[in-house]
Each structure stands twice: as structure tokens, then as C-alpha cells.
Chains A and B, each alone.
Chain A
Amino acid sequence: MEWINVILQGVLVGGLYAMFAAGLSLIFGVMRLVNIAHGDLIVLAAYVALVVAQTLGIGPLTALIVVVPVMAAIGYALQWFVLNRTLGDDLLPPLLVTFGLSVIIQNGLLTVFTADSVKLQAGAIEVATIRLAEGVYVGVLPLLQFAVAVAVIGGLQLIFYRTPIGRAFRATADDPAVAQLMGLDNRHVFALAMALSLAVVAIAGVFLAVRANFDPSLGPARLIFGFEAVIIGGLGSLWGTLAGGLILGVAQGVGAHLDPGWQILAGHIAFLIVLAVRPQGLFPKVRT
């Protein structure tokens, strides 16, 4: 029973990691950009949610109505004014610029909110649990978080393969020059992709803020978790990313159960094993 609990909790946390990863994987797929500031943007979203919830006096999940469009707008502007200028054959400009953004966001949050850790209160839902079997309980909030993660991945899959904007994403990813010849404005397509990525970041940020205490220094570790989930799952596959998140969550849960000091390390080791044995990831998909 004990181990079932450990694995179940790992799976539920894994949903959150999959949300960290989905936004990362999305923009890499469309424009070959790895956003080093991704984790810091998640933490930024958590603080935006905090401010919104406190000023308007609403619950964190209701606050999503404001946080998601705000983050999406930030994403669009960021891509349009800054990141579009960095795209090209050289991988250094996007890497350095997002590294710089990461330092700016972290220290900006430190200046405004200090290093004290805070938490977003969600009320009674935080402690509600459901009994699955004798001795196996799951929290309603982690379950909701997992369901949202699955919905987000499914939604992205739908957008990518069933809508005109998804077709534009795929076309630009395949060949930016030809996509432009067909009348697409790549700058706008890239900005929309970043807006979508940050909309996912907003949802992930709110769940991060409700789940536990957070402070401005958490960003880089969230980036790493998201990245590990992408690589474990396999490049280019959204459902693979979900699986990668779950594997990472379970590995961390098992590690933490053996020794609290081993939680994060166990996740990294799972990543390194996949890298050594199957560098293309567990469920790779060659993009068409």
C-alpha cells in the first residue's frame, strides 16, 4: 500500500511536470528555441496569480481567467519585440537572451516580492481527499491538477493537428521560408506560439503556487524538470511529454521515499539513464 501511494503521488505530480514541459516543447517544435527563462516565467505566473487573487479577492482557480491572458500577452510581446530578433542558424543568441531574461525576471521578482516564500491559498479544496481503496487516498487538488494536465496536453494536440493556427505552426516548423511564401507572417506565427506556451505556463504557475510555498529562486529547477520530461518522453511528441513528466514524478517520489535528500537526484538519474540508453527518448516522434 505504501508503494502504491508513493507511485500514485508521483504520477499526480508528474502531471504538473508535463505542464512545465509542454510549453517548452511547443516553442522548440515551432521555432527551435529553448527558453532558458521558461522556469522563471512559471514562477512569474505564480506571482501574477498571487497579486490577482489578493487584489480581486478571488480564488486561485478563478484567477486563471486573468492570469492566462496576461501571460499570453506577455509571451506575444516578448516574442515580437525580443525573441524574433534572435532566431537564426546560430543557437547562441536565443540562449543568451533567454538566460539574460531569466536573470532579469529572478532579480526583478526578488526586488518586488523579496526572497520570503509565499503560498496561494485555495481554501477547503486543498485538504479534501478521496479514498480509492483501503489505505490509498488521493487529494482532490492533485487529482484536479492531473486532470488539467491531461486536458492541456489533449488541447494542445487538438490545436496542433485540427485547427488552422496549428497548421500554421506545423508549416512554419517544417520550412519557415516556404510558409512565408504561402502567405504566413512567421513573426506573428512565432509570437502566437509563444503566447500559447505562456498560457500553458500560466496554468502550471497557478498550480505550482497552490501546491506548495514558492519564492523567486525556484525557476531554474522548474526549467530543468520540464526539460527532463521532454527528453525522457521523446522529442516532438506531446503525449510522450506527458509520459516523461509522469516517469520523472514517479522517479522523484521513489527517491524521496528512500531518502529525502535523494528526491531531485533520483529524477536527474532517471533522465541520465534514458539519455545513456535511449537518447531519442521513450516515445519519439519524427515530425512530419
Chain B
Amino acid sequence: MTVRVVFGTRANWIGTALGAIVFVSLAAAPWWGGRDDLQLLSEIYAYIALASLWNLLAGYAGLVSVGQQAYVGLGAYSLFALAIQFGISPLWSVPLAGLIAAIVALPVALLVFRLRGHYFAISTWIVAEVFRLLAAQVSSLGGGSGTSLPAAVVVAIAPTRQLRDFTMYWIALALAAAVIALIVLLLRSRYGLALKAMRDSELAAACSGVDVKRTKLLVYIVTALATAMLGALIFLQKRRISPDAAFSVNDWTAFVIFITVIGGIGRIEGPIVGTLIFFMLRQTLADLGTIYLMMLGLVAIVIMLAAPKGLWGLVVERFGWQLFPLERRVLFEERSVRPE
């Protein structure tokens, strides 16, 4: 008898096929959507990616950070510095910004990993505050009031405005798709097995030979790298940066956490579902301003208390759907000796 481990069920592959169709039609958005549509979609992609990364960090690796705005801002400021002061093409600056963040994340991790649980969470926030205050000291990038990307830098992306819009849109889509693909591949690898074991019980995972600390460090650095690339792209699209916007705890952490919890933490589909709900709420209620934000906070609290696995968790419990082929199943072949 041979034993084989396979991923997923037929339903997963249907889900993946559907995902591919959605991806292709979204990639064709420049031909069916207007400029506003492209901008809204780009923003949705950025939040899907940010929330997926936070989900990887908190939902799988158990690193509940409230300081990911540190890397959004670091990526954004790296892009502006590279483009304005060193004349590097903004498109090249996006991956470079990620690289810089990954290098910075290592010493930061060594420091904040000294605290656990809640204390880890708040110390990541303090690190983000340090970054924000340091950014406000850089007078060549406008200090506390920030600066804009010069027109020459923007033109370097593509000669016409339309082509620029299209390029940025495709990069945003590609980046979000790459982040999700990266997380799927990571979870299918042996690190994924380690992460799922850690999610269920760190102690049991460590006893089974998982190097918990190294796995956490790896996830922290990979997340920082991707988060910084997203931050660079977000502010390349905004074309204006300031310390308060780039290191905003509300925009890049509170909303991201609410999205993940509303959608379902610890599941790949959660952040995607959560982002779609977040944007639906925003498109209908944003005129209410502060009331909208209070409602968002309230919805997140109610979901955390009433359905801690999030809306997608409810769907899984009810229908057993899974869009991504991640679940390992053991197949017994040939002399079909099936376990009772």
C-alpha cells in the first residue's frame, strides 16, 4: 500500500478556476472601466494584500502586530527618497523599498520579539511611532508637512497619463495577486505545515520539532518586505506623502485588523471577503464621516464577540467551502486498506 498526500478537493479546483477567471477579467479592467473604477479597484487590491499579510502574521504566526504602518510608511518614504534624491525610476523603487524594509525588519524583530503577546503588539506600535517621528525630521522630504512627487518622476513611469494609469493599475493587481499566491505557496510548503501547527498550539508545534522562533522571524520579515512594497505603490499612486498619512495607525492597521476579523482570521479567504465588505460599507456610508468609523468599530466588535471566526468562518461551517487548495488529505492507494 502506498500513502500519498494530496491537496484539496474538486471544489477547491473549481474555486481556483473561478479565481483565474476573475483575475483575467480584472486584468482587462482598463478596457471596461473608467479612471475612477481603476483607482477604486487599485485601492481594494492594496487592502486585500495588506489584510492578507496581516492575516499571515497574526492569524498564522501568532504575531499580533498593531505596528504594520511602520512598513507601509517606510516603503513609501523609501520610494520618495530613492526617486527624488537618487533619481531611481519609481517602478524600480517599489521592489527596492521592499528590500530596505526587509533589512530594517531584522533588527526591529530582534528587539520587539523580546516581548510577548499584548506587549509585543504595543511595542510594534511604538516602533512605528519612532519611524514616523524620524520621518518628520527628514527636511529634504518636507519634514513634518511632507512633500509631493515631482512631475518629472511621474512622467518617467510612462509618457501618457492613460498609460500611467494602466501601468499602476496592473502593478497593483499583480502585487495583490502575488501576495496571495505567495501566501498560498507558503502555506502549502513545509513552513505552511509549521505555521498551521503553531496557529493551533505553539507548544505542541515546538515539541514536534518546529523551530517556532525562526519561523516567526521569517514570516515577520517576509511580511515587512511585501507590506513596504504595497506602501511604496500606494503612495506612488497618491503622489503625496506626509509622516501622518504614511504612518497612520487607523488607515494601515486599525482598518486592516477590522477587515481581517470581519472576513475571518486564520483563513486565506477572510481578508478578501472582509475587504469587499469594508469597501461596500465605505462606498455607501462614507458621507457620514465619523459616524461611519464608529459603525465600523462597532461591527468589528460585534463580529469578534458573536462570530470570532468571521463571516467566511460562518460560510465554512455552514457549507464547507474553501476557495484555495490548502487542506492536506492522505490518500491510501492500491490494496485499498482504508482505516476504520
Considering only residues 318-332 of chain B, those with a C-beta below 8 Å from chain A are none
Offer 26 A-B interface pairs, CB within 8 angstroms, sorted by A. Answer: A28-B118, A32-B118, A86-B304, A92-B64, A99-B257, A100-B300, A101-B297, A102-B254, A102-B297, A103-B293, A103-B294, A107-B291, A111-B290, A111-B291, A220-B125, A224-B125, A227-B126, A231-B123, A261-B136, A264-B129, A268-B129, A268-B130, A268-B133, A272-B127, A275-B114, A275-B123
Q: Is A138 an interface residue (CB 8 A)?
A: no
> Of A90, A100, A279, which one neighbours B114 at CB under 8 angstroms?
A279
Do B301 and A82 touch (CB < 8 A)?
yes
Most buried by B among A28, A82, A100: A100
**Contact (A279, B133) CB under 8 Å given A82-B301, A103-B294:** no
Interface residues of A in 88-117 (CB under 8 A from B): 90-97, 99-104, 107-108, 110-111
* CB < 8 Å A-B pair total: 116
Contact string, A201-242, partner B, CB cutoff 8 A, digits 1/0?
Answer: 000000000000000000010011001100100000000000
Asked if B298 is at the interface of the complex by the 8 Å CB criterion, the answer is: yes
In the complex, B151 has a CB within 8 A of chain A = no
Q: Which residues of A contact B137 (CB under 8 A)?
A: 261
Q: Which residues of A contact B119 (CB under 8 A)?
A: 34, 231
Check A272/B66 contact, CB under 8 A, given A97-B305, A100-B297, A104-B294. no
Say yes or no for B117: interface residue by CB 8 A criterion.
yes
Closest to B133 in A: A265
Cβ of B189 under 8 Å from chain A: no
- A271 CB within 8 Å of chain B: yes
Q: Which of A32, A100, A228, A272 meets B298, CB within 8 Å? A: A100
Interface assignment of A269: CB less than 8 Å from any CB of chain B: yes
Q: Which of B115, B122, B125 has the most CB of A within 10 A?
A: B122
Contact B66 A99, beta carbon cutoff 8 Å: yes
- Residues of chain A within 8 A (CB-CB) of B8 are none
Residue B184 is within 8 A (CB to CB) of chain A in the complex: no
Q: Which residues of B contact A231 (CB under 8 A)?
A: 115, 119, 123
Please report A residues at the B interface, Cβ cutoff 8 Å. 28, 32-34, 36, 82, 85-86, 90-97, 99-104, 107-108, 110-111, 220, 223-224, 227-228, 231, 261, 264-265, 268-269, 271-272, 275-276, 279
Is the Cβ of A92 less than 8 Å from the Cβ of B115? no
Question: A-contacting residues of B (Cβ < 8 Å)?
Answer: 58, 64, 66, 111-112, 114-115, 117-119, 121-123, 125-127, 129-130, 133-134, 136-137, 249-250, 254, 257-258, 261, 265, 290-291, 293-294, 296-298, 300-301, 304-305, 308
A94–B122 Cα distance when bound, in Å, is: 13
Known contacts A34-B121, A97-B305, A276-B114; 5 additional CB pairs below 8 A are A33-B118, A34-B118, A36-B66, A107-B294, A265-B130
Least distance between B118 CB and chain A CB atoms (Å): 4
Chain B residues positioned under 8 Å from A92 (CB to CB): 58, 64, 261, 265, 304
Residues of A within 8 A of B121 (CB): 34, 91, 95
Which chain A residues border B66 with CB–CB below 8 Å? Answer: 36, 95, 99
Q: Are B308 and A93 in touch, CB under 8 angstroms? A: yes
- Report whether A269 and B130 are in contact in the complex, using a CB–CB cutoff of 8 Å: yes
Residues of A within 8 A of B125 (CB): 220, 224
A111 to B293, CA, bound (A): 11
- In whole Å, how far is A50's beta carbon from the nearest beta carbon of chain B? 19
Q: Could you tell me the distance between the alpha carbons of A34 and B122 in the complex, rounded to whole angstroms? A: 9
Complex CA distance for A86 and B215, rounded to whole angstroms: 28
Q: Are B130 and A93 in contact (CB under 8 A)?
A: no
A28–B250 alpha-carbon span in the complex (Å)? 24
A160 to B127, CA, bound (A): 33
CA–CA, A68 and B149, complex, Å? 50
User: With a CB–CB cut-off of 8 A, which chain A residues contact B298?
Assistant: 100, 104
Q: How far is the CA of A82 from the CA of B301 in the complex (A)?
A: 9
Which B residue's beta carbon lies closest to that of A109?
B290
CB neighbours of A85 from chain B (8 A): 305
Please judge, given known A-B contacts A103-B250, A110-B290, A268-B130, whether A96 and B301 are in contact too, CB under 8 Å: yes
Chain A, residue nearest B110 (CB): A276
- Check A275 against B115 for contact (C-beta < 8 Å): yes
Rounded to whole Å, the gap between the CB of A241 and the closest CB of chain B is 14
Smallest Cβ-Cβ distance to B144: which chain A residue? A261
Contact between A104 and B297 (Cβ–Cβ < 8 Å)?
yes
A265-B290 contact, Cβ under 8 Å, with A96-B304, A97-B305, A276-B111 = no
- Tell me whether A107 and B126 are in contact in the complex, defined as CB-CB below 8 angstroms, given that A85-B305, A97-B301, A272-B111 are known contacts: no
Q: Measured between C-beta atoms, what is the minimum distance from A61 to chain B in Å? A: 31
Residue of A nearest to B137 (CB): A261
Given contacts A93-B308, A231-B119, contact A100 B126 (CB under 8 A): no
Q: Which of A91, A97, A103, A275 contacts B296 (CB 8 A)?
A: A103
Contacts of A90 in B (CB 8 A): 308
- CB contacts (< 8 Å) of A111 on chain B: these are 290-291, 294
Q: Tell me which residues across on chain B come within 8 A of A276, comparing CB atoms.
A: 111, 114
Which of B123, B133, B300 sits near A96, CB closer than 8 Å?
B300
With a cutoff of 8 Å between Cβ atoms, the chain A residues found around residue B294 in the complex are 103-104, 107-108, 111
Question: Which residue in chain A gives the minimum CB-CB distance to B296?
Answer: A103
In the assembled complex, the Cα of A107 lies from the Cα of B297 at a distance in Å of 10
Q: Measured between alpha carbons, how far is A181 from B133 in the docked complex, in Å?
A: 50
A residues less than 8 Å from B257 (CB atoms): 96, 99
Write the chain A residue with the least CB distance to B127. Answer: A272
- Is B126 a contact partner of A95 (Cβ separation < 8 A)? no
A91 near B126 (CB under 8 angstroms)? Answer: no
The complex places the Cα of A99 from the Cα of B112 at a distance, in Å, of 20
Given contacts A86-B305, A93-B304, contact A271 B126 (CB under 8 A): yes
